[in-house]
Amino acid sequence: MKYNRCGKSGLLISAISLGLWHNFGNASVLSNQKEMVLEAFNLGITNFDLANNYGPPPGSAEENFGRILHEELLSHRDEMLVSTKAGYYMWPGPYGDWGSRKYLLSSLDQSLKRMKLDYVDIFYSHRPDLNTPIEETMGALDTVVKQGKALYVGISNYTVEQTLEASKILKRLGTPCLIHQPKYSMFNRWIEAGLQDVLDSEGIGSIAFCPLAQGQLTNKYFDGIPKDSRVETSGVFLKEDDITENKVNIARKLNDIAVERGQSLAQMALTWVLRKNRVTSALIGASRVSQIIENVEALKKLDFSDNELLSIDEILAHEN
Ligand code: NDP
């Protein structure tokens, strides 16, 4: 495993992190969850990314992860980063959603109870809230660190301007923003238009979510939609309609470049996200152990030639 420094902090994060958004709720087999977490840790993945609402049902991914941690990995707690977030709908009424101090502080208390932990390593504001002063949301992040309930804080899905403002406030409070968690992949390059420059200048690291575009940047959909794919097993955030002929054709062309590099498309997609060290960690999801093994192998070939990058850009120019 390769460990990258997160922005200008003292924290190193594994270049691949494991996210528990899908396949770790109560609807998923616990033994498979356990195998995936243990294999990830064995391969050197240190960062496990959760959120209050991951499941289904919401909260169950934290409960299941907490169970696995306590049964199998407790003696390794200091070798791991446990991350969680609050910002999306979690409970009824005005205090279970968005970015108020009331919501963030009570949500982290609930997350700690579900995972049976005293602290998390990283606590995120999961999304910006235009109806709450950003000072209040950042103040809540500062409080959780001062309370000892989180070691570091981060933000997710914040725009360039919101990131700059959040960073200034957190610096003033004495709790610098450790990390930004944006969506980033060959199919979604929004962070290249300004966010990456702000993160560099503010000394903030980045962890790219959905680096495989939920499986679309793998060879999975080349021959139709398999029964055991996310489109079939969940179908909520990745639907049949998303698997367009154009997307699959582009993925096939990208796959040709990957094969020439001696990689699978999934491996090249992860390497691409990590290219030139501009992203601290690629945050993958997985439905089975073999995917984690394959994805970590991507780190064996991290370099790209200029020609390869140019060819990838040309292929992606036809994406819509
Ligand atoms: P990816 O883009 O990595 O997609 C993961 C899915 O792709 C897997 O579940 C699997 O789907 C498929 N896959 C993975 N590896 C392979 C492989 N080698 N070959 C073929 N198929 C493969 O990321 P996710 O969409 O899962 O998101 C990752 C994490 O990012 C989440 O768990 C969460 O922690 C975080 N996240 C954060 C958000 C935020 O707002 N901050 C929003 C969304 C995610 P299949 O079931 O088809 O096998």
Residue among 65, 127, 234, 283 whose CB has most ligand 1 atoms within 8 A, to mutate: 283
Ligand 1 binding residues, C-beta < 6 A = 19-22, 49, 126, 156-157, 181, 209-215, 218, 220, 229-230, 233, 266, 283-287, 291, 294-295
Looking from the CA of 68 toward its CB, the CA atoms found within 13 Å total 24
Rounded CA Rg of the chain: 19
Residue among 43, 214, 242, 295 whose CB has most ligand 1 atoms within 8 A, to mutate: 214
* Rounded distance between C-alpha atoms, residue 319 and residue 274, angstroms: 21
3-class DSSP state for residue 151?
Answer: strand
pLDDT in tens, 27-44: 999 999 999 999 999 999
Continuous H helices in the chain? 30-42, 60-68, 101-115, 134-146, 160-173, 195-202, 230-233, 245-261, 265-274, 289-297, 306-316
pLDDT attached to residue 49: 98
Do 182 and 208 contact (CB within 8 A), yes or no? yes
pLDDT in tens, 161-197: 999 999 999 999 999 999 999 999 999 999 999 999 9
Using CA positions, which residue lies closest to atom 42 of ligand 1?
A: 209
**Ranges under pLDDT 70 in the chain:** 320
Domains observed in the chain: 3-216+269-302 (3.20.20.100)
Contacts of 214 (CB under 8 A, 6+ apart): 230, 237, 238, 285
pLDDT attached to residue 320: 66
Do 53 and 88 contact (CB within 8 A), yes or no? yes
- Which atom of ligand 1 has the smallest separation from the CA of 295? 18
Identity of the amino acid at 115: M
